[in-house]
A and B are shown apart, each in its own frame.
Chain A
């Protein structure tokens, strides 16, 4: 049956947004949500499941969304919380203390062409909250106070934890990557412990 429904915006229901409208919103934000999930879980299937859960939750809460910025922030926040819950429920990623992350048995190559892949594995080895801090900072380019809101943490705690995590990551990367990782262990000038 073909029937025009131009006035569906006035139907008192979340379905007032047509499917095409909601799909447009999903497409606008899907890379953000999926990437946070994927970089957190390092599993495309689980990342998609988590991302779908987030958008379904978003759909149910459309009435609370006030603006596009609000939608973006809401989605990031929801993804973070679901990621933490996901880990708890499914034990999808065994949290390994950064110091205990296994080192490659072979000698590190002088130039490691898979540097970024190694970094991803290092990030995946981080505890859940610290992993998210790094993702929100370096994938989403969020400011500290934005990360604090998304993670429901005090801003000072975010700064402290992020600084320490980055210090460990650099040190680990330098050891893991050998000469290829040289120069990575030193934090940039001007960056000091909070």
Chain B
């Protein structure tokens, strides 16, 4: 391999775009999705709904850098939602308990359903 080829490779090495590039692309995608005619275009590209389901499901598995990455991201989001849901439930139960305790304290009655 000649030094000229090496120098060329060095001159033409890959460089990363400025930071935030992916985000800027997403912003353009979002703007494009908002355009009328976008869904019609997708139907042309993807075909009828069942084919779209299959095509897109396969694409999601293949394209993303590893099925594991996607699954992990979704799992973490699911976990976050479960913990949030339980946190909200716990908070409401505790608020109800406080209410009962306050009423009990006022009315000096044992814990029971108060109507």
Note whether A and B contact each other (Cβ less than 8 A): yes
| A binding-site residues for B, Cβ under 8 Å | 2, 4, 6, 9-28, 30-32, 34-35, 38-39, 44, 47-48, 51-52, 55-56, 59-68, 71, 115-117, 119-120, 123, 134-135, 138-139, 169-170, 173, 183-184, 186-188
| B binding-site residues for A, Cβ under 8 Å | 1-5, 7-18, 21-26, 28-29, 32-33, 39, 41-42, 45-47, 49, 52-53, 55-57, 59-60, 62-65, 69-70, 73-74, 77-78, 81, 84
Contact of B14 among A25, A31, A188 (CB under 8 A): A31
Give the interface centre of B3, B28, B42 by most chain A CB atoms within 10 Å: B42
Top 6 closest A-B pairs, CB basis?
A: A12-B52, A139-B12, A188-B2, A34-B17, A63-B46, A116-B11
Give the complex CA separation of A16 and B69 in angstroms.
16
B41 near A23 (CB under 8 angstroms)? no
Please name all residues of chain A whose beta carbon is closer than 8 Å to the beta carbon of B64 when the two chains form the complex.
17, 21, 24-25
Please name all residues of chain A whose beta carbon is closer than 8 Å to the beta carbon of B39 when the two chains form the complex.
13
Dominant SS at the A interface? helix
Please name all residues of chain B whose beta carbon is closer than 8 Å to the beta carbon of A25 when the two chains form the complex.
63-65
CB distance from A136 to the nearest CB of B (A): 10
Please name all residues of chain B whose beta carbon is closer than 8 Å to the beta carbon of A9 when the two chains form the complex.
56-57, 60
In the complex where A26-B21, A63-B42 touch, is A12 in contact with B56 (Cβ < 8 A)? yes
10 more A-B residue pairs beyond the given contacts A22-B29, A44-B18, A187-B2, with a C-beta to C-beta distance below 8 A: A17-B64, A20-B73, A30-B22, A35-B15, A56-B25, A119-B7, A134-B8, A139-B9, A184-B2, A188-B1
* Chain A, residue nearest B17 (CB): A34
CB distance from B49 to the nearest CB of A (A): 5
A17 near B11 (CB under 8 angstroms)? no
A60 near B17 (CB under 8 angstroms)? no
B56 near A138 (CB under 8 angstroms)? no
